[in-house]
Amino acid sequence: MELENLKAVYIDDEPVNLMLVQAYGMEFNLNIKTFENPVEGLDYILKNDIDILYTDYMMPEIDGIELIKRFREVHEEIPVVVITAVGDDQELKLNALEVGATDFLTKPIEITEFKARSLNLLALRRAQLKLKDRALLLEDEVKKATAEIQKREHESLMVLGRAAEYKDAETANHTVRVAHYSKLLAKHYGLDESKQDIIFYASPFHDIGKVGIPDGILLKEGRLTEDEFTIMKKHVNIGNEILRDTQSAYLIEGGIIALNHHEKYDGSGYPNGTKGEDIPIGARIVAISDVFDALTSKRPYKNSWSIQDALLLLMNEKGKHFDPKLVDLFIENIDEVKTIYDEFQ
């Protein structure tokens, strides 16, 4: 057994005992760090990783029982050997075992017994370390596998999100920009990273219900008639129907956004006239992202607006169409918005 890399400590107020045990350890290549002062020894073993601890029982300032008790608060598995001159004291042994002692040696120490007991305990320690390494390796592999599964899920989500814009070449990259605008708003609104991530991957589903709208209406150049607009409004319910009864957090949020992203802050939106903060935050965020991108993009029925004109509309609709706080955050971070706009043209 290779012992050179294992760390052993012996704490005893008798220098002769320290020298003897240190010499015994050298007989089988175990380097033992010694402490004559138990307080200094305790401080060391609490702050450093070791593989086996030897300790005397009767010491000034702090005895072996208290030392083991304190040690076990930090290190639960490391073998502890009590070396004592009162080896026939059964009450002492019981107390030591109760606080976490692993084994006992009686003074005067016999080298053969010291070596045999130490090698057994160090073999146990090596097994613990190997098991820990395997557990860490397994944990790392699970993390890698989980990340790969999540990557595939994200890819699938983005592909499905693009399905809603497939019929309309003028809206290429619309869902991508909306996703990035939405994550930007979610971040500055103070949502945690998990919620930001969910909104980012759910926002492309806001218009997925348009797959159920006739092409004659969806691709019409010019304004829709009242009857056509009534049909167009059904896309929010269709989107919710497509995404409901799912287990994915992204699809659940996508359904909520699809249903609510045309609600207005003052309650004048559709389909349910929900108002204010009763509108789910994801939908309030996507409402701004969607309108801003629609305004600044060329469509069959209109030319693109300038960013400045689009921002003026958002400001004019604060408290009416849009959440006022979110509009302010969008404008305050317009440089980041422009970066996204430029990158995904």
Closest CA to 31 of 71, 4, 10: 4
pTM for the model stands at 0.60
CATH of 8-136, one of 3.40.50.720, 3.40.50.2300, 3.40.250.10, 3.10.310.30: 3.40.50.2300
Per-residue pLDDT tens digits of the chain, which is 345 residues long: 455 678 999 999 999 999 999 999 888 888 899 999 999 999 999 999 899 999 999 898 899 999 999 999 998 889 999 988 875 678 888 888 899 999 999 888 888 999 998 998 988 888 887 887 776 777 777 777 777 777 776 676 766 766 666 665 556 588 889 999 999 999 999 999 999 999 999 999 998 898 889 988 888 878 899 999 999 999 999 999 998 888 889 999 999 999 999 999 999 999 999 999 999 999 999 999 999 999 998 776 678 899 999 999 999 999 999 999 999 999 999 999 999 999 988
**CA 157 vs CA 10, 132, 187, 251, 340: distances in Å:** 59, 37, 21, 8, 20
- The residue extents of the domains of the chain are 8-136, 164-343
CB-side neighbour CA atoms (13 Å) of 55:
29
| Topology agreement, domain 8-136 and domain 164-343 | no
Contact 239, 206 (CB under 8 A): yes
CA distance 196 to 166: 25
Q: Calculate the alpha carbon distances from 313 to 223, 281, 310 in Å.
A: 19, 21, 5
* Distance of alpha carbon 270 from alpha carbon 260, whole angstroms: 8
**Which numeric CATH code is attached to 164-343?**
1.10.3210.10
